[in-house]
Structure 1
Amino acid sequence: MRIVKAFLLGALAAGLLAYTAAAALAAVSQASGADVLRLALGPLVLVAVDTRAGTTTTTFGSGLLVLAVAGGLANALAATVLARRSR
């Protein structure tokens, strides 16, 4: 149960951090007047901002979910290592 809690808390923290950073980057991109912004990890899009004919579209991709899961796994691994060290 301890590992599940560590995973969930790590995933929540990493997901919130990734989403906040992506939203801030999208806001800065829109404010600077950039036409296209696409931030991706390989085929996994984190955030994409596209401005055409006065209309701006912001898309948050599935890469944010992958970052959240990776953060949860890293936190669960760290919790396991710390639990074994304290024995």
Structure 2
Amino acid sequence: MMKIGKDLEKLLSKVYEADAMVERSMGRYDLAFKTDDQGRPTILFIGKADEEGKIKGERFARRLVTDAAGNIVKDHWDNKGKV
């Protein structure tokens, strides 16, 4: 089972366009991730893209817990298996 490395975690800690699907390449992997209404990546697909652009690999989901002031209390990526 794959884990998210430090370089990938650094890329996923940035803020992107809100409610969008962002496609990138990193090393030998193709990435696609969905952002929430604040532009934070929440769902990640990592692997190799086929000719239609769909990622064959693994899916991760982000668990973000914030306090009443909006500060992030918990930030964790869970591997949800093969896609």
Structure having the higher Rg: 1
Structure having the higher helix fraction is: 1
Structure having the higher strand fraction is: 2
Larger RCO (CA under 8 A, 6+ residues apart) = 1
> TM-score scaled to structure 2, two decimals?
0.31
> TM-score scaled to structure 1, two decimals?
0.30
